[in-house]
Amino acid sequence: MKKRVIILVTAVLLFGVLAVPVGAVAYGRGTTIDHAGAPETISVLYNEIYDQYGVDAFFVTALDFSGEGSAREYANVCIGNLSSEPDRIVFVHTLDDNYILPEGKCKDIFTDDVLNLTYYACAQYITAEDYGMAATAFFAHVRMNLGRALTPEQYSEVSVVARTTETETETQTQAPELVEEVNSDSVEMTTAQNPVVISPAPTVQKQSIAKPILICLALGAVIALITVLAVRGSYKPVHRKTNANEYLIRDSLNITNATESFVRKETTERKLNNDSSKN
């Protein structure tokens, strides 16, 4: 009994060690993606942006582009297979620079001025390396500008968390200086110059992980069943011999007749997949 408990606990721990950390890098919509060691913060506000305006928003922190040529390429690597929305806005923060990448309808809404203001809303937290607050401010600002552009009459009704409001106030009052600061810091405010194809993404992070886990467990159960049956079979090795091959006297076989006659021929065709056409 004790052994069984140990086996089960070991198996569960093994699964936890292998599966959970891998699952943690599966990002959902509106996630703060952290590749720089900063704490990860996820706010309900992120999902509200998509729910209200149909825009995906991401906040990505990273040490560098990890070999990618640009912030856009890096962003596509990070979240490219997560969001199929043509309308998205991505904040990429590296140790060297900051980038805000609007796509789709966000390109029209987030003009250079708006981008500068949006950056300023986050700048103080980035300077303080408080990336959680920076992300919160970014999303609040995105939401505010989307609300203003898409439903102007309702803009006044959009409730913004108090912290965001404070940030926004500071943004408004200090905007001119901030533009200079942004320029002096060589912050690149990128607009979507090149269209990017974004693959479909799961809607909720928990669902995206739970389903594969269940599928993997089901496959694991099949493997386990085969293993158990094999083990069980090995415990019943007693069986009748099917032949007497080992009692056939060597070289006693004397073939007296050997003929082979052709009967028919069949030809089948299979169209090959042209790999170049895929590309």
Partner 1 sequence: MAELRDYKCPACSGALEFDPATQKMQCPYCGSSFDIAQLQDASQDGADWQSESSENWGDDETVNVFHCESCGGEIVGDDTTAASSCPYCGNPVTMTGRLSGAFRPEFVLPFKLEKKAAQDKLKVYLKKKKFAPSSFLRENRIQEIRGLYVPVWLYDSDIHADAVFEATRKRTWTQGDVEYTETSYYDVYRSGDMSFAGIPVDGSTKMPQDLLESVEPFDSAQAVPFQTAYLAGYLADKYDISMEQGAQRANERIDISAGDALRGTVKGFDNVDLRSKQVRMLRGVAKYVLYPVWLLNTVYRGETYTFAMNGQSGKFIGNVPVDGGKLAGLFGAVTVGAGAVLFALGKLLGMI
Residues that bind partner 1 (CB under 8 A): 1, 3-4, 7-8, 10-12, 14-15, 17-19, 22-23, 25-26, 81, 212-213, 216-217, 219-221, 223-225, 227-228, 231-232, 235-249, 252-272, 274
> Whole-number minimum distance, CB 18 to partner 1, in Å?
4
- Pick 128 or 216: Cβ nearer partner 1: 216
Of 47, 108, 116, 113, residue with least CA distance to 83: 47
> Whole-number minimum distance, CB 218 to partner 1, in Å?
8
The whole-angstrom separation of Cα 128 and Cα 39 is: 13
> Whole-number minimum distance, CB 233 to partner 1, in Å?
10
> Whole-number minimum distance, CB 101 to partner 1, in Å?
22
Cα 8 to Cα 20, 21, 175, 213, 227: the distances in Å are 17, 20, 60, 18, 16
> Whole-number minimum distance, CB 190 to partner 1, in Å?
26
- Pick 194 or 243: Cβ nearer partner 1: 243
Three-class SS of 42-87? CCHHHHHHHHHHCCEEEEEEECCCCCCCCHHHHHHHHHCCCCCCCC
> Whole-number minimum distance, CB 50 to partner 1, in Å?
22
The whole-angstrom separation of Cα 43 and Cα 137 is: 11
- Pick 29 or 141: Cβ nearer partner 1: 29
Phi, psi of 148 (to 5 degrees): -70, -40
- Pick 82 or 189: Cβ nearer partner 1: 82
- Cross-strand bridge partners of residue 98: 93
The whole-angstrom separation of Cα 125 and Cα 14 is: 38
> Whole-number minimum distance, CB 241 to partner 1, in Å?
4
- Pick 12 or 128: Cβ nearer partner 1: 12
**Going edge to edge, which strands form the sheet with 32-35?**
32-35, 56-62, 88-93, 98-103
- Pick 22 or 128: Cβ nearer partner 1: 22
- Pick 79 or 115: Cβ nearer partner 1: 79
Cα 216 to Cα 213, 219, 249: the distances in Å are 5, 5, 52
